[in-house]
Amino acid sequence: MTEEKKEEVKEEKAEVEVPKKFKNLVEEIEKMSVLDLAELVEILEEKFGVSAAAPVAVAGAVAGDAGADAGADEKSEYDVELISAGDSKINVIKAVKTITDAGLKDAKDMVDAAPKVIKEKVAKEEAEEMKKTLEEAGATVELK
């Protein structure tokens, strides 16, 4: 990470005002590794029955498909390739874990190996949905 990027991250952190009652908790979380944070999020999601992932907007995928259906030689199966995790690696790991039903370590290994095909021979609609989910998590994705 460049010094300029580190400064931007520090500035962003400085802008967030943490209420006094959460200060100790936030300080402990800041000390955790990326893997520990991903595991913590998973545990909290299971315990409270919630998801930290961004909701999938199906309407956007449907609208995007309308123009693509015009091609007569369209493929019926696609490979979903993760090109890059971007700045939100934890969110991308969680999305890959959900999409592939892989364990946390396997999902992290897939993200670290990018560019990497994470799902092969997927129906067009499912591939588009996976792509949208990964992009919302911060990843760069390509359908082949």
- Between 65-74, 98-107, 114-123, 129-138, the lowest mean confidence (pLDDT) is in 65-74
**1-144: CATH, from 3.30.2290.10, 3.50.50.60, 3.30.1390.10, 3.40.50.880:** 3.30.1390.10
Flag whether pLDDT at 142 surpasses 80.
yes
- Total number of residues shown for the chain: 144
Amino acid at site 50: V
Q: Do residues 114 and 125 touch, judged by C-beta distance below 8 A? A: no
Q: Give 78-102 pLDDT, tens digit per residue.
A: 888 988 888 888 998 998 898 888 8
pLDDT in tens, 11-60: 555 577 888 898 898 888 888 888 888 888 888 878 877 776 655 444 44
Distances (CA, A) of 106 to 10, 51, 86, 132: 30, 20, 18, 21
User: What pLDDT, on a 0 to 100 scale, did the predictor assign at position 102?
Assistant: 86
| Model-wide pTM > 0.75 | no
Element (H, E) at 135: helix 124-137
**Rg of the chain's alpha carbons, rounded to an integer?**
18
Amino acid at 84: S
Q: Which residues of 14-35 are buried (b: 16+ CB within 10 A; e: fewer)?
A: eeeeeeeeeeeeeeeeeeeeee
